Structure 1
Amino acid sequence: MSDIAHLGHVEVLTDRFDDSLDFFTRVYGLKASLVEDGVAWLRAWDDYEFHTLKLTRSETTGVGHIGYRAASREALARRVAAIEAAGYPTQGWTDGDAGHGRAFRFEDPFGHVFELYYDTRRVEPEADDRPALKNMASRFHAQGACPRRIDHVNLLADDVSEFRRFMDVAFGSRVTEMIRLDNGRIGGCWFTVNNKTYDLACTEEHGRGGGRLHHVTYATDQREDILRAADIFLENGVHIETGPHKHAIQGTFFLYVWEPAGNRVELANAGARLMLAPDHEPIVWTEAERKKGQAWGLKTIESFHTHGTPPVDET
């Protein structure tokens, strides 16, 4: 068993808090567990934790931190010892948050802040939010795009090989797929800490920024949910960047939009492959293969390589 159970939550920063909150709840379809003092703790209807997205009012955009839940208190202690021994920058222990208990914060070599925790706050739905089936976290509400659960986060880094070493040391994660460029560099890696094909991806930074977010993704049950979401986004004036279409890497059906503050958000179908083989070898994609585009030939648009948050001064 891995010391890390799963991706727990992502903190997204916004300089347009009210507009972003309206997008994530009314249009994207997350539920608000708590909103106070410029912070919103949000979750999808079948997320079992109190929150999977923390939306924070800020003077900038991007990612505040990424939280992973450890498999036990003992596992948490083991990972903290490994992180400290490796010499990665640490911020130490915090008292926790509205959605979880004590947490250990640290940084990757590129300025992204991570936290590990074990004690968590589970969803306790009110009477009008209780599901008909007791094995669901809460009632399906059909508001907006209405994704089922958090899926993954994609970060940007100048050196994906170094980020890969960080993920191995800090989380004990394994790589399921990767891109190797003609110049020998790794252009992207997809990581998992469990049997999902990935819960975090890292792709090469082309914008000369630091600690930037590429996107955060929630999962739907089926492709038709994403096609419906495209119409919902269209009707609400949301910027649709690319899709709906199917990825070649990982094979997920996708749709990318920008929320009002400019952070990229994805919907992907939950029917992605499981990684059950304990001796799985990473699938390596070449630069020539990636230039063919996505699974059905859609070319990757230029903004997908350059747009991240916070934005960088191109001068």
Structure 2
Amino acid sequence: MADDEPILDIAHLGHVELLTPKPEESLRFFVDVMGMTESGRRGDSVYLRGWDDYERYSLQLTASRTSGLGHAAFRARSPWALERRLAALRADGAEVWAQEGELGHGTGWRFRDPDGHVFELYYDTEWYEAPPERRPALKNQAERYPARGVNVRRLDHFNCLAVDVRANRAFFERNLGLRCTERIELDTGEEAGMWLTSNNKSYDFAFTKEAHGIPGRFHHVTFALDSREAILQAADTFLEAGVFIETGPHKHAVQQTFFLYVYEPGGNRVEVAHAGARLILAPDWKTITWTEAERRRGQAWGLKTIESFHTHGTPPLPDPETSGGDLSGTGIAS
């Protein structure tokens, strides 16, 4: 294999673990408002799925003293692909450890990115088998349409905050073979955002600049809906349920995602989105770079990026009276 041959060992984003200090309230939000289905419990975690996720679950909701990202997991394309990526991580100096006995899939191999977020790779997985009352009319669909709340279809992507965005991009490119489809570069040359994919989706996850110099924080998790109209209907569903809408519905300039952002009861930001036809089919895709001036124009149709996008993440920031630092936000988000 040539040195510049693309690495295609990662298949897709499998699941995300969210930590919540209000587990019962968060669970009601994801089941009753988001329309997800519970597919298991173990320890302090409840496992949930969208109606078109093929694996047993895509969201692990874990009771914790605070909010944030527990871990994010990617499925490899084969057992051999998994071994190649683990070898690359170890050769790069990353500590890799086994996570045994997880619900719904085989051994998970965990590691930390340069910012301290926990990631996981696995291959063996449990395909979802719907119980009789959840079986769909069409056999090529994972389960019956829930007709409840927002009706989340599947997990789409997530966004981490990072002190050094460029270092994280380089880490995932060289060790997992992920491609950067779009990025933001400030006038100083610092990288303020990057969007990575392992497949033909425009992105599986993003990293944006953490404005306060605190590593390991989380920006949002995103679930896909069927259409732009579904996003508008979701806004009404959130309104009726008394859920605070942070921003949207609107269209991002970066990646052109049609978006709507809310907070779940535990404090984590949640996005529902429709990515439309944004597929990356070109094998030699050239990364799109956005300048600082271009991003200051706001979103695709002129909506200014809301200030809380630069300041709100999880876990919450330390109390400024005890941390002694200036916690005002100065970053540029997507």
Normalising to structure 1: TM-score of the pair? 0.98
RMSD: 1.0
> What residue in structure 2 maps to residue 103 of structure 1?
108
Q: Which runs of 5+ in 1 are unaligned?
A: none
> What residue in structure 2 maps to residue 189 of structure 1?
194
Q: Which runs of 5+ in 2 are unaligned?
A: 1-6, 321-334
> What residue in structure 2 maps to residue 55 of structure 1?
61
Contact preservation (8 Å) 1:188, 1:203: yes
The residue correspondences of 1:129-278 to structure 2 (distance < 5 A) are: 129-278=134-283
Say which of 261, 279, 286 aligns to 2:284.
279
> What residue in structure 1 maps to residue 12 of structure 2?
6
Deviates more, 1:47-56 or 1:168-177: 168-177
AA matched with 1:245: H
AA matched with 2:222: T
In the alignment of these two chains, the number of paired residues is: 314
Contact preservation (8 Å) 2:256, 2:275: no
> What residue in structure 2 maps to residue 35 of structure 1?
41
Percent of residue pairs bearing the same amino acid type: 58
Structure 1 stretches of 4+ moved >4 Å: none
Contact preservation (8 Å) 1:251, 1:272: no
Could you list the per-position Cα deviations for residues 35-76 of structure 1 after superposition, in whole angstroms to 9, with x for gaps in the alignment? 344311011000000110000000010000000000000000
Contact preservation (8 Å) 1:89, 1:108: no
1-side partners of 2:174 and 2:130: how far apart?
Answer: 37
2:35 maps to 1:64: no
1-side partners of 2:296 and 2:275: how far apart?
Answer: 26
AA matched with 2:242: G
1-side partners of 2:117 and 2:47: how far apart?
Answer: 20
2:68 maps to 1:46: no
2:310 maps to 1:305: yes
Contact preservation (8 Å) 1:207, 1:307: no
2-side partners of 1:104 and 1:162: how far apart?
Answer: 21
> What residue in structure 2 maps to residue 120 of structure 1?
125
Contact preservation (8 Å) 1:221, 1:270: no
Normalising to structure 2: TM-score of the pair? 0.92
AA matched with 1:255: L
